[in-house]
Chain A
Amino acid sequence: MSDYKNFTMNFGPQHPAAHGVLRLILEMDGEVIRSADPHIGLLHRATEKLAESKPYNQNIGYMDRLDYVSMMCNEHAYVLAIENLLKLDVPERAQYIRVMFDEITRILNHLLWLGAHALDIGAMSVFLYAFREREDLMDCYEAVSGTRMHATYYRPGGVAKDLPKIMPKFMINKNHNLEQIEKLNYNREGTLLDFIDSFVDRFPANVDEYENLLTENRIWKQRTVGIGVVSPERAVDLGFTGPMLRGSGVSWDLRKKEPYEVYKKLNFDIPVGTEGDSYDRYLVRMHEMRESANIIKQCCDWLKNDNGKYISSNSKIAAPDRDDMKDNMESLIHHFKLFSEGYCVPEGETYRAVEAPKGEFGIYMISDGANKPYRLKIRAPGFPHLAALNEMSKGHMLSDVVTIIGTQDIVFGEIDR
């Protein structure tokens, strides 16, 4: 009997709980994990190398595809790095729009995380509820950028377009009659900001709904309490950031500690956990969603009373207005230059990070004075998290590995880059 004690098991890459293309080589002792060796890179697209061969603005689209559930936050770090090298000022309206969409993105991310995590541990209905709310936020993305996910909305110097004056509505089709359509459109009569407002008003009740299903749920607690415990010191040493770090009780949030854009002017709390287990990280993320809704509300109120510029007026960097191009020679020249050659960024290097939903998403950019980045390093928050999987899962049961992958909020777009 004892001769066969340890065996290796292959988990993934095509496993629904592997959140994409994670391949784990597990060394098992019966049901207990002795060591876990993640094999990553199955989604490696060499984003950093591709970025070195393209003018700055053409890379914004790649950023969406890194962490493909928190799209705009990735763009944010990238444009911040460029702005930092160019010493470019961003109009206040653009800063508010960015912060608002960062927080919308945070909710989008946490909703997907919550749904997928709960589904992995066996709670089906949360997934459906979470996707119901995500749909509305995707509509916000679509209203400003034309796409539901990969928005490419931020630009160095601001955002690509101003917020739309009308919110797109549903139309009558073979599945919905007039009455149903009117019901679906009830909060789409005003502007985008009105729609976001109405979302934010009802969202806390939705979070209550999720919490009703999970927080005191016996099965949920049995699956998450005491699983994947990380001490605060260890979390720092392992390079954890974001909810993974705060779940361990370290109060560190870049929105507070290194406030970028207008976070300084906004009121919000940073939730922290105490035990550093999966349950605490769940609580932290739930609380973060409420805080995000709170921030969105504040941005909405500010934006409603403002009519400023949404992008910098520096025409060497920011694309000219389409109408202006028709009868203004200067604008036409700027447009041609910007969309063929791009702009040259002065020599230097910078590291800019934002508090993405998963943690610190940083861009380290080196420019040699060209119209393309010389080197772009993406600091993805999920990378050190997954590196700690071995340590976190050691001694746990096989089914707990699924919990730990879930609680780390793994997305392969950003880990494999």
Chain B
Amino acid sequence: MNKIKKLVDELVVDYSNYDMVTLTVEKSKLKKLLKTLKESQDLKFTQLIDLCAVDFIDYGKSEWETKEATSSGYNRGIYPQSHSRIDFINEDEVEEYKLTVVYHLLSMDFNMRIRVKCNLDKDSLIIPSVTEIFASADWYEREAYDLFGVLFEGHKDLRRILTDYGFIGHPFRKKFPLTGNTQVTYDPEQKKVINQPVDITPRTLVPKVIRKRK
């Protein structure tokens, strides 16, 4: 930890330590930080084990808070409190994001792991690509772009990877309903497979309950 602090202190905004050292970094200094971590002889974080995006927009929002339970029956789990319960996306709405990209690095020489987090601005989806530093970032960044819509600046081949050809939207954002937006059926009149809006409403089978430890 001290070794890391000494090397990258001026680049890092925040330290924390859940299960491994976690550094939070600003977008502008991300590449420099990762390069330092990789190339420093005392750390040698040579492998990018994982890269993923996280959508924090619903963080800490519960679906189940009971206010009354006697005369009118339970009122919990009925009113949507998180985005995943809201009906389908309204495209005109001004979008605000709360996305974070998380990098997990591994140093084989020193048997260490480190987590680097980079928060995106709420009105922008752009983050520098790290494909020049780690070759394995290529597909991981494509995945994060596909599922969350994070745009990696400098990625040479930022295409969708997991979703279908011609898919619209970024399905792993919390605002994207679990049921999806379109369903596919065969239309016997047109004699072809067509897309149409889904005819089921998103619902929660087991409400999300948050308990704060006292």
Contacts and interface: CB of A to CB of B under 8 A. Distances in A.
Are A and B part of the same complex? yes
Contacts of A90: none
A236 B139 contact: no
Interface string B157-175: 0001111100000011000
Contacts of A32: none
Query: What are the 7 tightest A-B residue pairs by CB atom distance, in nearest-first order?
Result: A239-B136, A41-B162, A387-B139, A377-B52, A344-B211, A379-B50, A44-B162
A53 to B, nearest CB: 6
A405 to B, nearest CB: 16
Contacts of B59: 368, 374
A340 B76 CA distance: 14
Nearest to A44: B162
B210 A369 contact: yes
A351 B115 contact: yes
B158 to A, nearest CB: 14
Interface in B157-196: 160-164, 171-172, 178
Interface size class of B (residues with CB under 8 A): 35 or more
A362 B50 CA distance: 9
Interface stretch (B41-49, B67-75, B87-95, B120-128): B41-49
5 contacts: A41-B162, A237-B135, A350-B18, A370-B210, A375-B55
Interface string A10-48: 000000000000000000000000000000110010101
B52 A237 contact: no
A383 B210 contact: no
B18 A53 contact: no
Given A239-B48, A250-B108, A369 B211 contact: yes
A54 to B, nearest CB: 7
Nearest to A384: B136
Nearest to B48: A239
Contact of A362 (B49, B102, B136, B164): B49
Contacts of B164: 41
Nearest to A239: B136
A54 B206 contact: yes
B134 A239 contact: yes
Contacts of B204: 53
A372 interface: yes
Contacts of B29: none
A231 B48 CA distance: 17
B26 interface: no
A170 B49 CA distance: 45
Given A40-B162, A351-B113, A364-B104, A238 B206 contact: no
A55 to B, nearest CB: 5
